[in-house]
Amino acid sequence: MVRNGRIRQSLAYWCLNATACKWDINRICETAVRLGCLSIELVPTEFWPAVRKHHLQIAVAHNGMPEPVFAKGLNNPRYHEEVIARTRQTIDQCADCGIPNVIAFTGYKWIDADDPESGEISLAQGAENTVKGLAELARYAGEKRVTVVLEQLNSRDQSDPMKGHPGYQGDDIDYCAEIVRQVGSPRVKLLFDIYHVATMNGDVIRRLRQYRDWIGHVHTAGVPGRCELDDQQEIHYPAVMRTLLEIGYQGYVGHEFIPTRDPVEALAQAVECCDV
């Protein structure tokens, strides 16, 4: 159970439903309540009422794009119309339900997101396109008091499609942070995923301090492997959580790891580990 409560903790729906766990929404919510977590995140819209029934928040919502949600992103003008329209629709839904954040992605670096042979969008052009798309979304999100959070994903891990994303253009936290800086809106921030940052960049605590003003949401998972927050992985999460408190972070920390053992035990361990 959460005892200190200085870190607002959240459970990621897909990690407990779309993996070997196969938990339904009610079991996920009941577990969150029992552990003292305040939120379930990345929940399909049809389950939002169930989350509310358990008096839980939804810390961040998907952008409404079809799976894989991170493939077609704002770095590619051919997908701008679809991504912006779907994200605006999600922003409307979030505003109606009091959900603070909606996720955004750069997308794959290929000109045709489904075809690696189609050629690549340059990093500079991808950044310019993403800034343009996020700026448009920022204007709309600002009216609705919703924040768009841009997530960096690692492209190194090729062992599993949910552990790494080869071809994803925004695979560098410094690159994504510069995009957010250029947008220059309080309604566009970083989704700082500790697992992805550690896998691609390392130096997690220094980067948390460096980008303190631009962080809108945080994700956890063990490194390597996107597994439990235990002593078989390399991130010392209590120190990371203390850094979040030090920099004045007041958002949610979502546990987005894939359990490899008893998920109840693994979640309880993660919650205790981050309850500094």
**Looking at residue 211, which CATH number applies to its domain?**
3.20.20.150
133 in any annotated domain? yes
45 in any annotated domain? yes
Q: How many CB atoms lie within 10 A of CB 28?
A: 27
216 in any annotated domain? yes
The Cα 193–Cα 173 span in angstroms is 9
pLDDT surpassing 90 at residue 20: no
2 in any annotated domain? no
**Quick one: DSSP state of residue 64?**
S
pLDDT surpassing 90 at residue 14: yes
The set of residues, in sequence order, having a beta carbon less than 8 Å from that of 193 and lying 6+ positions away, is: 151, 152, 153, 218, 219, 221, 256
54 in any annotated domain? yes
Q: What is the mean predicted confidence (pLDDT) over 89-103?
A: 98
pTM for this prediction: 0.97
pLDDT surpassing 90 at residue 18: no
Q: What is the mean predicted confidence (pLDDT) over 250-276?
A: 97
Residue linked to tokens 């991170």: 70
Say if residues 274 and 238 touch (Cβ distance below 8 Å). Answer: yes
Domain total in the chain: 1
241 in any annotated domain? yes
pLDDT surpassing 90 at residue 19: no
1 in any annotated domain? no
- Alpha-carbon distance values, 201 to 20, 161, 173, 238 (Å): 29, 20, 7, 20
Range of the domain at 172: 8-274
**Residue 47: predicted pLDDT:** 98
3 in any annotated domain? no
